[in-house]
């Protein structure tokens, strides 16, 4: 509010807020014109298997640049400008940045908790890094504060601006409150009220603009240029990456001599996994760093498989915290050099992971927050691991209450404890009773049931059945088939 927007910025905000076709088309063309367009369906990977990866050329190892990396007590002028002019950080450069990060002014060292019930179920030790316990219930506070605390006094006086629909917005707002600088948080008009309220509660100015994140980000950058504010990127910034990398530093310290076989990290734009991979591979290169993405929001996996960044023509927004169309330029450079691979998981597997974590901790993670747990389960099953130790990042717990019912409905399907079937029966007297005796009369619990009378000679029954093993499902389908009732597994 101390930096009134100019008429040009106001006009742009009004145009984005209207959500006109022209505005949406303009930003979509600009975004997709820079990178090859791809569909999430272009990449097919077996459940739990690592997606194909084209290895990058590696991080710069220049001694001259390593010497130029800022260390404790040094401050970069104009944000990243000086460092970027010298070149992108090397692996050692990122190690120094992580070690010199000042995140603990606002963040806390989160717990590393064993998930006992889930560990017993998968036959391996599975530990959860509790970033959902941060003051803003997400790891995003680390990177935002580390970026902003390194800005000079004049830049902080001018304030910051960012674009976000949730966790990054709250991180920037809290960091700004701690540092005493003003913050403008640009959020899409579709952002839930609870997230808008939380950001306002932290003292930031909220601007609702645009129907998509691309439109919102375009306005935020324009507002930053016109007001002289520093744009705080949610992931594609070396200082943000280094701040997130402190999560990896804590994991290795907390594990001590019992190091994990692999660390599973949720991937959106790539800031968290780039930071963790940079630190872990510099200190303990034998530990695998594996990314996890939803099958419908697999921008990193697709980019790594093609050896270049791609722009998704569509994205599944269920795990909204990682639903990005394009990963960052710097995060891709780091990921392509250091990652061991990416696992893709379905939405029902994410819901099952949310339930697994709840059963062990009584905490409810958001879909993106449980993504790494889902990926770890899938990887363990595919690789047939036994007696190993794994760590999964619980990255956040900012979920709207009204989504819990949907998560609950999908959880048993994702855990393979429920199937949804459609059975066709003749529309004649006695056929429904025969179906009840065959299907419902079994020992398997019926969780959902829908039947509608049909005017023709056949009717279809939709129902859900709880199962404990695949054998139980096979026996049920065989009994129905022998009774002359054709069934289809719709799970």
Query: What count of other Cβ atoms lies within 10 Å of the Cβ of residue 249?
Result: 20
The full 3-state SS of 269-291, as one line of letters, equals: CCHHHHHHHHHHHHHCCCCEEEE
How far apart (Å, rounded) are the C-alpha atoms in residues 397 and 77? 35
**Is 140 in the active site?**
yes
DSSP H stretches of helix in 150-229: 153-158, 167-179, 193-201, 213-227
Q: Which two tokens stand for residue 261?
A: 């076989």
Q: Which residues pair with 161 in a beta bridge?
A: 184, 231
Query: What count of other Cβ atoms lies within 10 Å of the Cβ of residue 350?
Result: 28
Helix, strand or coil, per DSSP, at residue 20: coil
Write the CB contacts of 34 (distance below 8 Å, at least 6 apart in sequence): 311
**Is 395 in the active site?**
yes
Task: Name the burial class of residue 28, with classes exposed (0-12), middle (13-18) and buried (19+) by CB atoms within 10 angstroms of its CB.
Answer: middle
Catalytic choice (101, 305, 337, 395): 395
Catalytic choice (140, 195, 288, 355): 140
Helix, strand or coil, per DSSP, at residue 318: coil
Element (H, E) at 388: none
The single residue listed with the structure tokens 């029954």 is 461
Q: Which residues pair with 460 in a beta bridge?
A: 424
**Catalytic (active-site) positions:** 140, 395
């Amino acid at each position: 509010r101390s930096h009134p927007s100019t008429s040009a910025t106001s006009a742009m905000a009004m145009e984005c807020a209207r959500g006109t076709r022209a505005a949406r088309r303009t930003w979509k063309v600009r975004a997709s014109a820079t990178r090859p367009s791809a569909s999430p369906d272009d990449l097919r990977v077996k459940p739990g298997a690592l997606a194909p990866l084209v290895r990058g050329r590696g991080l710069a190892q220049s001694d001259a640049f390593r010497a130029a990396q800022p260390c404790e007590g040094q401050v970069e002028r104009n944000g990243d400008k000086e460092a970027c002019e010298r070149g992108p950080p090397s692996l050692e450069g990122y190690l120094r940045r992580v070690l010199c990060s000042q995140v603990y002014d606002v963040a806390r060292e989160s717990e590393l908790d064993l998930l006992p019930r889930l560990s017993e179920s998968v036959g391996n030790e599975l530990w959860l890094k509790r970033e959902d316990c941060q003051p803003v219930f997400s790891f995003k506070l680390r990177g935002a504060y580390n970026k902003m605390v390194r800005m000079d006094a004049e830049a902080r006086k001018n304030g910051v601006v960012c674009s976000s629909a949730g966790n990054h917005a709250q991180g920037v707002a809290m960091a700004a409150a701690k540092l005493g600088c003003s913050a403008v948080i640009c959020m899409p008009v579709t952002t839930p009220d609870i997230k808008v309220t939380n950001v306002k509660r932290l003292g930031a100015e909220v601007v609702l603009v645009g129907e998509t994140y691309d439109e919102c980000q375009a306005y935020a950058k324009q507002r930053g240029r016109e007001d002289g504010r520093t744009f705080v990127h949610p992931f594609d910034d070396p200082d943000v990456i280094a701040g997130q990398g402190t999560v990896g530093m804590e994991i290795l310290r907390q594990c001590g001599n019992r190091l994990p076989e692999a660390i599973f990290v949720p991937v959106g734009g790539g800031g968290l996994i780039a930071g963790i991979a940079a630190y872990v591979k510099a200190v303990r290169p034998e530990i695998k760093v594996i990314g996890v993405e939803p099958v419908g929001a697999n921008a990193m996996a697709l980019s790594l498989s093609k050896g270049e960044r791609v722009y998704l023509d569509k994205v599944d927004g269920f795990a909204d915290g990682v639903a990005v169309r394009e990963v960052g330029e710097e995060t891709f450079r780091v990921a392509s050099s250091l990652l061991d691979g990416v696992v893709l998981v379905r939405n029902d597997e994410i819901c099952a992971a949310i339930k697994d974590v709840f059963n062990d901790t009584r905490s409810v993670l958001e879909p993106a927050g449980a993504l790494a747990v889902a990926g770890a389960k899938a990887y363990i099953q595919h690789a047939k691991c036994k007696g190993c130790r794994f760590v999964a990042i619980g990255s956040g717990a900012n979920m709207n209450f009204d989504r819990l019912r949907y998560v609950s409905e999908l959880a048993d399907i994702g855990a393979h404890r429920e199937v949804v079937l459609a059975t066709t029966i003749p529309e004649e007297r006695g056929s429904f009773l025969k179906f009840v005796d065959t299907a419902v009369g079994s020992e398997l619990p019926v969780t959902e049931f829908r039947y509608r009378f049909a005017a023709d000679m056949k009717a279809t029954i939709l129902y859900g059945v709880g199962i404990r093993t695949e054998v139980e499902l096979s026996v049920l389908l065989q009994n129905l088939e022998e009774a002359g009732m054709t069934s289809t597994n719709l799970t």
